[in-house]
Structure 1
Amino acid sequence: MGDVPMVLYVMGAGRSGSTVLDIALNSDERIGGYGELINLTRSVWPNDEYGSDGIRCSQSPFWTSVRNEWARLCGGDCLTEYRALQCRFERIRSLPLVRWCHPGRNRDLSRYGLLTRNMYLALSHVGGTDIIVDSSKSPARAYAVSRSTGLQLVIIHLVRDVRGVIWSLSKSYAKDERDGVQNEIHGRGTLRASLDWAVTNSGADWVRRQLPRESTVVLRYEDVVCDSANSLAEVSSL
């Protein structure tokens, strides 16, 4: 295992199939896929939510080890500080701020980059993998990570046909914490779902154009489902 992991960041609209892609990527033993890491510090740890293993994160040996390793790398528990930095740099309206801030001159962005980098390092150390998949989907987080961490970053813009997204978002779900539904979810109407899809994918396209072409790839969800081997080959070629 190398000292510094590579990060595969999946960005795109909600319900675009990031879970399917995460599972496909995770079939490689060098890769560790841990879901939407943006939520790990925003809600999972603060609310002691259930993980995919069906137990609360405070009782999970893996996630307990990750949090302890993150704290060790950061010199102490920095959850509250990091959540405040996420609110500042991981929002769509933060894109201009991140673009014009130089990490070496902006103390907060530098700190955000260090804590984020340490999170990926903690996952690599505990999980024993050289490559981390972050399926957070947020274009703003992708841009902030690219500008501040100094890590080798590959951006995967995952796009699903808007009709599939509308259909998926139209469904309602009852609260089921063990199954990952932390609160009751009401289905969205066609207009709102379409608008969310357009805004997020426009933001993702903008972020992709700010980065070196050789570090980004666009994948269609439908292609991942029908021919995952070819889709994974596109990622591996970067």
Structure 2
Amino acid sequence: MTDAQPVIFVGGLGRSGTTLLERLLGELPGAVPLGEVVHLWARGVHADEPCGCGEPFSRCPFWGKVGDLAFGHWRADEADRVLRLRARVDRTRRVPLLALGGLPSSGSGRRAAELRAYVSAYTALYAAAAEVADGRWVIDSSKHASLAYCLAAAGETRPRLRVVHVVRDPRAVAASWHSDVTRPEDGRPMARWAPGRTAVHWLAQNLAFELLRRRGVPVVRIRYEDLLRRPAETLRELAAALGVPSGALPFLGDGGALLGVAHTVSGNPMRFAVGRVRFSERRVTLPLGRRLLVTALTWPLLLRYGYRLAPRAEAGA
């Protein structure tokens, strides 16, 4: 495993700040941010949605070179194969089985072979992206705990994985999922979830990453609010925990960050942001009844992560 490609997997429930963290980590020396690679096959290869650089996936020079190096070239049938494998092994409902070691990659069964084949596509892509960008480590902000489990369970085919577990106050996450957000890729509204549904997903995803740490996978947890309020200190501490250089962080300052172009295939709309991004504080907008519901459903982990039962404000970018 010494020659495996180093990969930083940014995980957590959507609307928890994973895209912002990836953009900040992507400014560190040697970093190659890729966006949510789990969606590359459908949104990139098939739908030809724009890269973070603004070009359609098929016309992005970076991704064109990655596809040539990793797979010969991007093919719809290869994307279909990976999507079929994903439907077989990369599912949230399979996390308990993966957590208990129920899908051993070294076995000879069909499911073990599917797991190895699925992860092989990712490792080929990660290695090609690092080579094309002349980077030392890649960042995959796919978020899903199920993919992190697959990458960690795939035996000799797996990358050298380190996981960043991003948590955010569940009331703020629920407020975000309940708001209207437009996808810049096509102008369609992003999915909206009721606060109760968000609370259940918040609990399930965060518990899954807690279990992943207990399996011996290197997992570093950070709070989104800390990243916004103490960005330089939090980023330096995170880089040290991950064993990657942080440098002087010249892109941070004046209550925000100066971001360059990133070749990210999917993620929050801010993946397209170039230039100054400011950090701010705003009030939580959930009505009292829904806020109490989310608190009641999530309070054990909410307290474990250092949040108040009665939040005052949330951090935002």
* TM-score above 0.5: yes
Task: Report the CA distance shift for 1:225/1:107 in structure 2 as closer, same or farther (over 3 A).
Answer: same
State the 1:110 CA deviation. Answer: 1.8
Alignment of 1:104-119 (within 5 A): 104-105=106-107, 106-119=112-125
Could you tell me how far apart the structure 1 residues matched to 2:40 and 2:54 are? Answer: 16
> For the Cα contact (< 8 Å) 1:4–1:130, is it kept in 2?
no
Name the stretch that deviates more: 146-155 or 93-102.
Answer: 93-102
- Give structure 1 regions of 4+ aligned residues with deviation exceeding 3 angstroms: none
Name the stretch that deviates more: 76-85 or 86-95.
Answer: 76-85
1:133 paired to 2:133: no
Alignment TM-score, normalising by the size of structure 1: 0.88
Could you tell me how far apart the structure 2 residues matched to 1:207 and 1:58 are? Answer: 35
* Partner residue, 2:5: 5
Could you tell me how far apart the structure 1 residues matched to 2:191 and 2:22 are? Answer: 25
> For the Cα contact (< 8 Å) 1:166–1:193, is it kept in 2?
yes
State the 1:97 CA deviation. Answer: 4.5
Could you tell me how far apart the structure 1 residues matched to 2:96 and 2:194 are? Answer: 30
Percent identity of equivalent pairs: 27
Number of aligned positions between the proteins: 231
1:227 paired to 2:235: no
Name the stretch that deviates more: 5-14 or 97-106.
Answer: 97-106
State the 1:44 CA deviation. Answer: 2.0
State the 1:231 CA deviation. Answer: 2.4
1:211 paired to 2:213: no
Alignment of 1:46-57 (within 5 A): 46-57=46-57
The superposition leaves residues 175-208 of structure 1 with CA deviations (integer Å, 9 ceiling, x where unpaired) of 5326xx6x32253322222222122212222222
Q: Secondary structure at the match of 2:174?
A: helix
1:101 paired to 2:109: no
* Partner residue, 2:42: 42
Which is richer in helix? 1
* Partner residue, 2:184: 176
Task: Report the CA distance shift for 1:146/1:186 in structure 2 as closer, same or farther (over 3 A).
Answer: closer
* Letter of the structure 2 residue corresponding to residue 157 of structure 1: H
* Partner residue, 2:168: 160
* Letter of the structure 1 residue corresponding to residue 72 of structure 2: R
Q: Which runs of 5+ in 2 are unaligned?
A: 243-317
* Letter of the structure 2 residue corresponding to residue 21 of structure 1: L
Q: Secondary structure at the match of 1:13?
A: coil
1:195 paired to 2:197: no
1:236 paired to 2:240: yes
Larger radius of gyration between Structure 1 and Structure 2: 2
> For the Cα contact (< 8 Å) 2:181–2:190, is it kept in 1?
yes
Name the stretch that deviates more: 142-151 or 90-99.
Answer: 90-99
> For the Cα contact (< 8 Å) 2:220–2:241, is it kept in 1?
no
1:144 paired to 2:146: no
Alignment TM-score, normalising by the size of structure 2: 0.67
